[in-house]
Amino acid sequence: MMRDGLGTRLRLLPWTTPDGGPCYLSTSDPNSRLSCMADELETELLDSAEQVLGQAKPLLAGEGVGERELRFTGVRLAEALGDALRIAVSRGARLPDN
């Protein structure tokens, strides 16, 4: 878990820097504008992952699917899984300490 100079937990955001590095937010206000934007994007990414999975299952179960379709599906599934894992890490880091 990342912390700022004052010891405040940093929130892992659902987007990255232009070079693919993680972006973090330092705020104690879960209703800040940037926090709300991150919450909305997380919801959209999870909805998108659900749609990708819903379309991938029948495609992968079918016979005669071409290599191009399988590759495209695999890439989309990998992207969706990466997004879901990033969100899980971010949310897990924001759980209260026991």
Structural domain boundaries in the chain: 11-93
> Tens digits of per-residue pLDDT, 24-61?
999 888 899 999 999 999 999 999 999 999 999 999 99
- Environment class of 24 (CB within 10 Å of its CB; exposed 0-12, middle 13-18, buried 19+): middle
Percent of the chain with pLDDT over 90: 78
Q: At 11, list the tokens.
A: 């929130």
Q: State pTM to two decimals.
A: 0.87
